[in-house]
Amino acid sequence: MIYLLQGNLSVSDSGSYLPVAIQVLFVVGLIALLIFLTHILGPKRKTADKLQSFASGIESHGDARQPMAIKYFLTAILFVLFDVEVIFFYPYAVIFKELGWNGFLAVLMFVGFFLCGFIYILKKGALKWED
Amino acid sequence: MNALILSAVLGVIMMFSGVMLKQKSAVRNIAITGLFLLLVVNILEMSGMSFFRINTAGMMHFDRFSLLFNCIVFFSTFVYLLLSARDIEKTGNYYAEYFTLIFFILCGVILVSSFQSLLILFLGIEIISIPLYILTGSDKKNLKSNEASLKYFLLGAFSTGLMLMGIALIYGSVGSFSTAQINMTEKPGALMIAGMILLLFSMSFKVSAAPFHFWTPDVYDGAPTVFTSFMATIVKVAAFIAFIRLFGEAFGNLQPQWQIWIALITAATLFIGNITAVFQQSVKRMLAYSSIAQAGFMLLSLYAMNADAKEGLLLYSAAYSLATIGIFAVLIKMNDYTFDGFNGLAKYQPLLAATTTIFLLSLAGIPLTAGFISKFYMLKAAVATGRHLWLVIFAVLMAAVSVYYYFRVIQAMYFKEGQPGIITTSPVFKYTLVVLAALIIILGIFPNLLLNWYYF
Amino acid sequence: MQNALQIAWLIPLFPLLGFLINGLGRKHLSKSAIGVIGSGVILASFVMSIWVFLQVKDGNTHVADYFNFISVGDLSIPFAFQLDQLSSLFLLIITGVGFLIHVYSASYMHEEKTEHFGRYFSYLNLFVFSMLLLVMGGNYVIMFIGWEGVGLCSYLLIGYWFKKAEYNKAANKAFIMNRIGDLAFLIAIFWIIKKVGNVNYHDVFQFAGENKFSTADITGITLLLFVGATGKSAQIPLYTWLPDAMAGPTPVSALIHAATMVTAGIYMIARSNVLYSLSHTTMNIVAIVGLATALLAATIALKQNDIKKVLAYSTVSQLGFMFLALGTGAYVAAVFHVMTHAFFKALLFLGSGSVIHAMGGEQDIRNMGGLSKKLSVTYFTFLVGCIAIAGIPPFSGFFSKDAILLSAFEKSPVLYGIALFTALLTAFYMFRLLFITFSGKFRGTHEQEHHLHESPAAMTIPLIILAVLSIIGGFVGIPEALMHGGDKLSAFLSPVIKPHEGTPVSHSTEYGLMALSTVLVIAMIIAAWFKFRNYQRSEAAGFGKVLENKWYVDELYDKIIVNPLNKFGGFLNSFIEKFVIDGVVNGVGRIVNYSSRQLRLLQSGQVGSYIFLMVLSMLVVFVLQFFLRK
């Protein structure tokens, strides 16, 4: 154990970890405090309705683990995929002048690959809703 | 760089060829031609003709070692497609996608064979792993295939987690992903050591070294046999190249810290692989364990980590891949995967039996085959370190055990009566097998034919 | 005339070609074509070998370096052949005796299907090829390749009649036992590389000659090489495969036992004589193991009833003699015995093959008897073989055995005593075999009696040639005491093997020893004659009262020596061999099997348990790395 600690010290200055430690303490403390406070202060009404799962106000019925059409997943996952890729345009938008034509070509290539993927899933019929 | 870009483009081409072309044979021929092109451009790059000049910012470096290794990989895949492309198509409906995934895996292989930065290593490993999860489960109707795929994915995710944690710890202590930078660390602290050990674990997982081998038999057994062949050969040797590069270039100076662990892992791998293979009833499962056992031998190069070891690993990857691809290609054609399924093969299919015998002899390390020479190089490299000689003796003993289960197949083919159910084979298949067997013997007599490429 | 050495690569090439032609064309060629090709290539090699022999006779040696086989770092291993006196002598034995066996086989195996016939000849050619590679190799690695090749071919040939599971077991046993020896050999090679940086004979021996090896190194290397030799040459404890290897066709037994394979170990040690002479420890171990094997095998042979088993144990015993010679530093005597043994053992095996052929596959000598009338050629040649192996002058076995006994005597009278005793046993059991088989009344079925016939000429001519060689073969090594300038063999081998150093025994002592051994051997033969000439199956009734009373001495001898020995032989056979040696060997196999089953259980198929085991081992590594190291 002592060896472990020594190792730590030799790697870097322990001071650099101080902010991290403070933040960890702060986060843990805050969460504990909040949970504690809501527990103490909040009113408690225990009814059968409250123990039911909440689904946008609609009354839930049946088993949640039912087979569902794969199309929902597929559409959802494709959405997430394209959504995430779009995020890369934000940093580019900020510095596109500095990057110049090389940067433009790189982004063009990125979009090109993207487009290939898009055409591929279209051709494969992944977004076709009716069978 | 040539091959990296071409393989990515070829992957995309294969993707579209599945959509555009209706004929299976056209898709197959495109894949085979594409692979041939890949081999050609890689050889061109070896002789100094690089088509692209891209600044990789020190993240990748295409040296002779990685280029030669890529040549071996492309050639093996080429042979693999010649032998088994038709069987790949039979696996499921999405025949073009299987080829696509294989090209993407090759992309990953190129990355892991030439990385200079832990980021690229991670990317490469993931690009290899994710398509493999899909290929493992490609036989959708088969429950075993699905189970294997899920298992592989779960355990693979676990090992990916270990690897990321390791990389994070190392970055934390060094402040860089560059292998050269990491190697220059003068006083490695506990964080660095812990990171290195985590990387050791996750790489051991990828090369299926004990005690991280548990996924191997289940996954190899469950996956469609064509893809087992690919996983057990090309992917496995690629993981080894990544392993030896990582520990040679990033942790070379820490050798005293990890050498004993590698030695123990090697011994455990050799022991578990060889001993468990003895008791198997199915040839496919036996080959899964044999791949663990062979991994044990390849780990010797890691343990030794000298000039001999690198050459030896190149030779070993060629010898092992070619022989195993050959055996699997024959196995796919069999109806019955048990040892008894091979009974009497020599009588009905003398050519198949003869070539399979050569492949098995090579795996067992009988002289005049490539398998012997490569084992010889490994042992030589391990002896040259001058430490832990018990490991060499143990390895030699385990090689003797391996003879038992490889010869069981030969015995079944030649010395037992039976009528093996076998699917008819095309002339191309037979010629390729013969060429493969000839190559193994030629490499066994003139190993320098391959190794000279490393130097000039 | 220098060119014979230049084209020596043809010698192994011929059998290789034969292997390819017969192997590939076994379905298309006729039997006679296969036989002619198979034997012809060996004959071609034999002719080449004679040519090479004539070249090296005057002390030439030649190392033919073809290409660089392996080069790793600063180690380079050339693919080279070394042609000198020792290798050329072995070449002659291998190709000469091998050729006769091939010719014999063509007739012996004639009833096989054409396809199997081709397979048989291709294996046979491959066998000879491997053996030639072993002998001609210019360094230890090439020798090792031939060494492994021989093991592989023996596996294929012993399992030739693969329909019987028992034979397959015998083939496996032979191969695996050989592999155990091979491992030791391989480790020895690595050791040599580590010390010398090279495996060429020339460099290694020069290194040894300059005394650069430490005692530990030289002892280790020579011991490991010796363990390799015990595997191939069937010495304690790795000898049990050889008697089982009788499962193969009889000509194969002849080839394995006489001309090739088992002599490989002798060749290896004779080749490495420079190394062995440096280590007294190893030499003593070699001598003791050799002698112990010789004695053990000879006692077991007393009790055997299978014609081939007797010959097999006699081979083990004779190999023990050769190792005794090697261990006492008489390398030339060992090589000499290899040569004479090749003649008479090939003769005996082929003779037994002829008997088995005539008996329609019967191998139990209790069912034979009185064959001398019907099989006269076989009988006479077999008799010659027995006299030669028993060691009666001037037959070849006498001279080589005498040289070994003499070197044992120089070393220690105890060794000599035991060796002489073993030699007497040899005479006894060989003549027991001869008399039971060929004299007395026929004890087989009527059908067999009707079927009895002399073998065709293709089988008897090799027998006759080998018989002639067994008679005159010993004259190349007549001891100095009998003829001035007689010992041609040690003069011939002197460039490779340094002349024997030891306290020379005076000629009168030598005469005395020769006379003693000869007289005792003849006495043994006479004893065997009275005991077995009218052998009956039931042993108790087999001896008439008259005989018993008349030869009270014989009875006494029987009670005091033979019976205990028989019992001891039976005990060794049933206990030491079956229980101890097989037990150890099988035990290892059982442990492997057991742990294989246990390890399989770890593979539960549960992802959770896999991860648990992985995390557990990771924890162990972390704990050890951080808390216990340093």
Residue A12 has pLDDT above 60, yes or no: no
- The answer to whether A113 contacts B12, with C-beta atoms less than 8 Å apart, is yes
Q: Which positions of chain C have pLDDT values less than 70?
A: 1-4, 72-73, 162-163, 259, 480-487, 499-505, 535-588, 629-630
Mean pLDDT on B39-50: 89
Look up residue C108 and give its two tokens.
């012996």
Helix, strand or coil, per DSSP, at residue B55 = coil
Look up residue C208 and give its two tokens.
């040894």
Helix, strand or coil, per DSSP, at residue C331 = helix
**pLDDT at site B155:** 93
Look up residue C124 and give its two tokens.
């046979």
H helix or E strand, kind and range, residue C221: helix C215-232
Summarised one tens digit per residue, pLDDT across range A25-40 is 999 999 999 999 988 8
**pLDDT at site B153:** 94
Rounded distance between C-alpha atoms, residue B66 and residue B245, angstroms:
9
Residues of A in contact with B187 (CB under 8 A): 10
Summarised one tens digit per residue, pLDDT across range C355-371 is 888 887 777 877 777 77
**pLDDT at site B316:** 94
A128 touches chain B (CB under 8 A): no
Q: Which of B19, B187, B191 sits opposite A8 (nearest CB)?
A: B191
- The answer to whether B191 contacts A3, with C-beta atoms less than 8 Å apart, is no
Mutation for B interface: A5, A8, A9, A11, most B CBs within 10 A: A11
H helix or E strand, kind and range, residue C79: strand C75-83
Q: Which of A3, A4, A10 sits opposite B187 (nearest CB)?
A: A10
Cα maximum dimension of chain C: 89
A3 touches chain C (CB under 8 A): yes
Per-residue pLDDT band for B245 (boundaries 50, 70, 90) equals very high
Cα distances (Å, whole numbers) of residue B35 to A110, A113, B6, B30: 25, 21, 10, 8
Average pLDDT value for chain B: 90
- The answer to whether A10 contacts B189, with C-beta atoms less than 8 Å apart, is yes
**pLDDT at site C630:** 56
**pLDDT at site A10:** 43
Q: Min CA distance, A125 vs chain C (Å)?
A: 35
Q: Which residues of C241-256 are buried (b: 16+ CB within 10 A; e: fewer)?
A: bbbbbbbbbbbbbbbb
- The answer to whether B401 contacts C168, with C-beta atoms less than 8 Å apart, is no
**pLDDT at site B157:** 94
Summarised one tens digit per residue, pLDDT across range B362-371 is 999 888 899 9
Find, in chain A, the residue whose alpha carbon is nearest to that of B188: A11
- The answer to whether A123 contacts B19, with C-beta atoms less than 8 Å apart, is yes
Rounded distance between C-alpha atoms, residue C428 and residue B427, angstroms:
62
Please report the DSSP string for C449-463 in residue order. HHH--PPPHHHHHHH
B44 touches chain A (CB under 8 A): no
Contacts of B43 (CB under 8 A, 6+ apart): B71
Residue count of chain B: 456
Q: Min CA distance, B204 vs chain A (Å)?
A: 24
Helices (H), B115-189: 118-136, 143-174, 179-183
Q: What is the architecture, at CATH level 2, of domain A14-124? A: Up-down Bundle (1.20)
Neighbours of chain A (3+ CB pairs under 8 A): B, C
- The answer to whether A7 contacts B16, with C-beta atoms less than 8 Å apart, is no
Q: In a 10 Å sphere around its CB, with 0-12 CB exposed, 13-18 middle and 19+ buried, how is residue C230 labelled?
A: buried
Give CA angle at C475 (C474, C476), nearest 5°.
Answer: 95
Mean pLDDT on A66-93: 85
Contacts of B425 (CB under 8 A, 6+ apart): B333, B349, B352
- What residue has token string 């007689």? C486
Per-residue pLDDT band for B266 (boundaries 50, 70, 90) equals very high
Are C166 and B380 a contacting pair, CB within 8 Å?
no
- The answer to whether B401 contacts C592, with C-beta atoms less than 8 Å apart, is yes
Of C600, C309, C395, which Cα lies nearest the Cα of B285? C600
Q: In a 10 Å sphere around its CB, with 0-12 CB exposed, 13-18 middle and 19+ buried, how is residue C561 labelled?
A: middle
3-state secondary structure C514-553: HHHHHHHHHHHHHHHHHHHCCCCCCCCCCCCHHHHHHCHH
**pLDDT at site C117:** 83
A79 touches chain B (CB under 8 A): no
Give CA angle at C533 (C532, C538), nearest 5°.
Answer: 50
Q: Which residues face C200 on adjacent strands?
A: C139
**pLDDT at site C538:** 47
Residues of B in contact with C602 (CB under 8 A): 214
Mutation for A interface: B5, B13, B15, B185, most A CBs within 10 A: B15
Rounded distance between C-alpha atoms, residue B450 and residue B448, angstroms:
5
A102 touches chain B (CB under 8 A): no
Of B341, B342, B370, B373, which Cα lies nearest the Cα of B358? B370
Mean pLDDT on B88-94: 86
Mutation for A interface: C622, C625, C626, C628, most A CBs within 10 A: C626
Mutation for B interface: A10, A12, A16, A102, most B CBs within 10 A: A10
- The answer to whether A120 contacts B15, with C-beta atoms less than 8 Å apart, is yes
The ipTM value here is 0.87
Contacts of C132 (CB under 8 A, 6+ apart): C11, C12, C15, C45, C91, C94, C95, C146
Residue A14 has pLDDT above 60, yes or no: no
Look up residue B306 and give its two tokens.
């000298």
Rounded distance between C-alpha atoms, residue C85 and residue B106, angstroms:
56
pTM of the model: 0.72
Q: In a 10 Å sphere around its CB, with 0-12 CB exposed, 13-18 middle and 19+ buried, how is residue C570 labelled?
A: middle
Cα maximum dimension of chain B: 65
Residues of B in contact with C187 (CB under 8 A): 392-393, 396
